[in-house]
Amino acid sequence: MRLRQMAVAGALLGLLCVPAQAEARDISRDVLAENDGWAWAEGGTTGGSAADDAHVYTVTDRAGLVRALDGGSDTPKIIRIAGTIDANTDDDGDHLDCADYATDGYRTKKYLAAYDPRTWGSARPSGPQEEARQASAARQAERIVLPVGSHTTIVGLEGAVLKGASLQVRNADNVIVRNLELRDAYDCFPVWQPNTGGLGDWKTAYDNLWLNGATHVWVDHVTASDKGHPDDREPTYFARNYLRHDGLLDITGGSDLVTVSWSRFADHDKAILIGNGDTVTGDRGRLRVTLHHNEFESVVQRAPRVRFGQVHLYDNRYVAPADAVDYRYSLGVSTESRIYAENNAFHTPGHIEVADLVKSWNGTALHQTGTVFNGYPVDLLAIYNAYNSGSERDLTPDVGWTPTLHTKIDSADTADREVARGAGAGRTP
């Protein structure tokens, strides 16, 4: 707490002392503004703003990024990413593809032959090819999983891209990630799960950014997508799309006090998951998250899906393209979720209706006001309740809380225009 208070004081003093003709502000020393969502609560979020000069890095490749992250240490640090960093590279900086990670005789064709449901049945995969898949997956994980420790700021310089990586903030506190494009956390070795969804499905391992047991995290002006390897171009095996990506941003494992602002989530299936299980009752009282001024474009589902969390969702922009044949929903209301949604704007083609925007699994409540759908104000909750399939219970508007930690809340129309211009990497003010 003392470290964060000192960082805030130092940042404010620095602003007072800047000469009139100073160069452009260095955003890597920024701290979360007062009252800007849940990440402001209980001491605020300052990231690595208190780092000394010895722990300020500018990195241009994976090796430099790994050294700067220091194994996820808690030493205050600022990491500036320049250019494009590919996590799928060896120690010499040469690109690695899936064949380079494969070991112990793993081959996709052999894996498919071994676990074809017509011959294998519904048992969990086991035996030589599954063991080889696990060993191969571990080799890839050694390269692309990048742990982020407490008191860390990661900021992209102009045009910065981190591709193929899974940034993981696990059991860490006070982290900032800003102005960075996170692209294509591609899993070379998906696992077949015969009983998922009744007919089986492919399960992937990596999110572009994963908060697991993380607290006080500010994600701002980030662009996250599958750019490079869209899942809809992958083949179908066992009558299921051979998925290569999990979430763009997952907030799980009791994570708490998170603000996600002015970011863009695009061209993806499952965008944001908050809370990872209906039976994880230890998440009660946690998963307090603010999502504001974000854009969700060409996202199939989970924008977000919430379990247990107390989530403030305001001034966001949702865009489904004309060819969005796979669209499922935007707001997922799951077990004990308490979503307070204000002034969000949705743009959809004609085959997506207002009632389609919400999906409930054991949810009981959704507060919403100021929703605009294709330019017209709508009562999202009333329409959902009127048109849901009957297999889902009606949702009440009482979520048991009213947000107080927020910046100015604009009308949905105003926010829609501002987010279209200002959300995503490279657009920090």
C-beta separation of 219 from 263 below 8 A: yes
Handedness of CA 225, 230, 232, 235 (dihedral sign): negative
Largest Cα–Cα separation, the chain: 74
| SS3 category, 418 | helix
| SS3 category, 287 | coil
Q: Is the peptide bond before 304 cis (omega within 30 degrees of 0)?
A: yes
Question: What is the four-CA torsion angle of 304, 327, 188, 69, rounded to 10 degrees?
Answer: -30
| Residue of 29, 178, 302, 338 marked active site | 302
Find, among 266, 251, 241, the residue nearest to 182 by Cα.
266
Q: How far apart are CA 296 and CA 224, in angstroms?
A: 10
Q: Quick one: the chain helix, strand, coil %, rounded to 5?
A: 20, 30, 50
229: DSSP letter: S
Is 302 among the catalytic positions? yes
Q: How many other β-carbons are positioned within 10 Å of the β-carbon of residue 141?
A: 15
| Backbone φ, ψ for residue 154 (5° rounding) | -115, 120
Q: How far apart are CA 114 and CA 129, in angstroms?
A: 7
For residue 350, give every residue at least 6 positions away whose Cβ sits within 8 Å of its Cβ, in sequence order, or none: none
Q: Which two tokens stand for residue 292?
A: 């504001």
Residue with tokens 């890095």: 57
| SS3 category, 383 | helix
Find, among 383, 253, 408, 279, the residue nearest to 331 by Cα.
383
> What is the DSSP annotation of 359-380?
EESS--BEEEES-EETTEE--H
Catalytic residue IDs: 302
